[in-house]
Amino acid sequence: MTLKSVAALLAATTLLSSAFAPTVAIAQSPASDLIFQTDKGWSPRVNVEAQTVMVYGIDPTLPDRIKSWRDHGYNVAVMTGVAWGRYADYLRGDFDGKEHWNETQQEKSGKLILHTGREVPYISPTESYGKYLSKGVERALDAGATAIYLEEPEFWARAGWSDAFKAEWQAYYHEPWQAPDSSPDAQYRASKLKYFLYRRALAQVFDFVKQWSAAHGKAIPCYVATHSLINYAQWEIVSPESSLLSVGADGYIAQVWTGTSRQPNYYEGVRKERTFETAFLEYGALQNIARSSGKRIWYLNDPIEDNPNHSWTDYRSNWESTLVASLLQPHVSSYEILPWPDRIFSARGLYPTTEPTAENPTPQRAPISPDYEAELQTVFHALGEMNQPGTRWQTAGTEGIGVLASDTMMFQRAQPNPSDADLGSFYGLALPLLMRGIPVEPVQIESTYKGEGATGFLDNYKLLLLTYEGQKPPSPAFHEALAAWVSKGGALVVVDDDKDPYNRASDWWNSGNMHLATPREDLFHSLGIDAKAEGLHRVGKGVVLYVAKSPAALTHEQTGADSIRTLAKQAADAIHLPWKESDTFVLRRGPFVVAAGLDRSDAKPLALKGSFINLFDAHLNVEHNPEVKPGSRMLLMDTKFYPTAKPRVLASSGRVSDLAVTAHSIAFSVSSIDGRDDHDRASVRVLLPRKPGVVNVNGSPFAADASSYDDNMLLVEFPAHSTPQKISITF
């Protein structure tokens, strides 16, 4: 397919489309379960020992950076930005002889929206920009990149005044440009166009990669690194979220981290950061898309964040929260373990030792502590073992419950009538359930009616909550699919006061032969219900429960969450769905136990029976019957999961290789990032059938004593190095 035909296809099809198949376990490839990204070459201090490195950027230094990582045994892919990057040669006209400064995203005031300086702006993508990105990607492919990752296709909701965007409006709508803030309709249409423009740019690059692959007898996959729909909506950004797969992407990186998840939201009238809860919903939103398609997904975790002014304590606590939230998504077991390792481990990785205060607004900065460094590396290597059979919830509330969400949530975020700034229309339905231990999922509306297998997409759910406050249904086909699901026995809770001004945006429900005031009227017509009738209604084997309230308004009420839970429980009872709440989430992944205590004053702790290695402890300490307390985050390994008859490495803060086991010995090598000095230690806990005899580290005796050997486990600690350290143990 040519670039011209791709553009024609995109223009002719519905904007919000995606190809989906029935829910299946997401395919995993052990060769690349762990990935990370860097714009630097290899060095001992950033040797994080994941299988695949994504070398960032497509400038002329790319081939040398690729070679440096490949020379040290890494599989090398390439990542580059879509909305921004070091693309000054394109802007200046070096690429095609034409200057492209007018493609900078622009606000109404004329202010340019820049990422980092005038030569790194956010781009309003034209077809020539797609050609430029394709040429840069060709450099990566010629240098041996095994996969292409395009990062963050982002168009700010407040943008839409650049000359390039005005020209695209004329070409797309065949009418003069309208100021996006002139009416809800103009803003909605501007967002649709922004959505299309990045679909087109991505399709151009993906199409080029497929052509290059065919010409060279290779199969180079293409992925998109994207924030969640929830975060993009809250940060007021438009991105072609659910439709990425339909324009050629082979999967996603779910870019969720402290920076996205600490965005405050309202619950029971209180606005504050809820990093764990927000991350749980963000990861769930992207899991929902990937699981429905069978495509590849990695979950990003970041040990710090882009804001360099928080303390190491803050970073560590929030990283543990986002990490646990990602591990509580049972259908995903591949991870981007970190971005930018040099900003964490190198000499420039200096961050405050305490949070700023009025008395001390500029606290002292320091490098990462040895304990946090060791903890990170332990978890990195544990993440490579999360694809475990029999992964299951041990403690959680009722499953099979979701909140319906559409990409159109991103279309209502700017003037003249932006939807709730704190995204209360979504959180007002999701948090009341999540805070009571119900593993609620954001359910992508576009997945219900687009693509092969879409008719079975909703079969995973028993109860769904829906509002058109802050979002709109992209197609009446969604209503047909939802009505069919209800008729088969589903329970639908609709919470909507019909006061959203975007109900008046020009779209299918009020165009052509349709003259409805709200899209909800069409939904209720599909369900066979009077649109004004509140209360519980039987529809086939299922039920619909409608209340004319604003979910966003309920977030500001102390009893608002109780109101939503009451509605959900009433609908569940009507279809005989057992209602269960919980104070904790506990998920078992083979030998690993992932746990979180919900941050509620009335939540009770839960004791986990047994002995567990604490993987959040730098020294791999063993805890007996640990308690999951309110607000706690835990990643544990069950010490009794494996029989003691055969020795094995249980946990390590480095990559284990060259493993050799006999009837009376175990030997292996451990490599990690280089320590700064002997205070940076590597830790390994080994299961042994009996008390150790001789223990050597690089040929030198290690003194095992009562503190290092207990309950058939030996702890060995030694200086961390990127060069493999050889450990041998007899017993």
Per-domain boundaries in the chain: 3-10+27-100+125-156+195-386, 401-574, 584-638, 648-730
- pLDDT at residue 180 is higher than 70: yes
pLDDT in tens, 583-639: 999 999 999 999 999 999 999 999 999 999 999 999 999 999 999 999 999 999 999
Residue 451 has pLDDT above 90, yes or no: no
**CB atoms inside a 10 Å sphere around CB 7:** 18
pLDDT at 9: 35
Average pLDDT, the chain: 93
Alpha-carbon span 620 to 371, nearest angstrom: 11
C-beta of residue 590 within 8 angstroms of C-beta of residue 641:
yes
pTM: 0.94
CATH of domain 648-730: 2.60.40
Distance of CA 280 to the CA centre of its chain: 9
The alpha carbons of the chain give a radius of gyration, in whole angstroms, of: 26
Q: In this predicted model, which residue has the larger pLDDT, 15 or 458?
A: 458
Phi/psi of residue 373, nearest 5 degrees: -60, -45
Residue-wise pLDDT for 53-67, tens only, equals 999 999 999 999 999
Q: What digits encode the pLDDT tens for the residues 682-699?
A: 999 999 999 999 999 999
pLDDT digits (tens, 9 = 90+) for 64-109: 999 999 999 999 999 999 999 999 999 999 999 999 999 999 999 9
Q: Quick one: CATH architecture of 401-574?
A: 3-Layer(aba) Sandwich (3.40)
Q: What is the pLDDT of residues 306-347, one digit of tens each?
A: 999 999 999 999 999 999 999 999 999 999 999 999 999 999
Percent of the chain with pLDDT over 90: 90
Nearest to 486 by CA among 467, 508, 461: 461
Residue 26 has pLDDT above 90, yes or no: no
Give the C-alpha separation, 427 to 266, whole Å. Answer: 8
At the top level of CATH, which class does the domain 3-10+27-100+125-156+195-386 belong to?
A: alpha beta
What are the DSSP calls for 128-141, one per residue?
A: HHHHHHHHHHHHHH
442 CB-side CA count, 13 A: 29
Instruction: Return the pLDDT at 21.
Output: 28
Q: Are 385 and 333 in contact (CB under 8 A)?
A: no
pLDDT digits 0-9 by tens, 148-177: 999 999 999 999 999 999 999 999 999 999
- Contact present, 715 and 683 (Cβ < 8 Å): yes
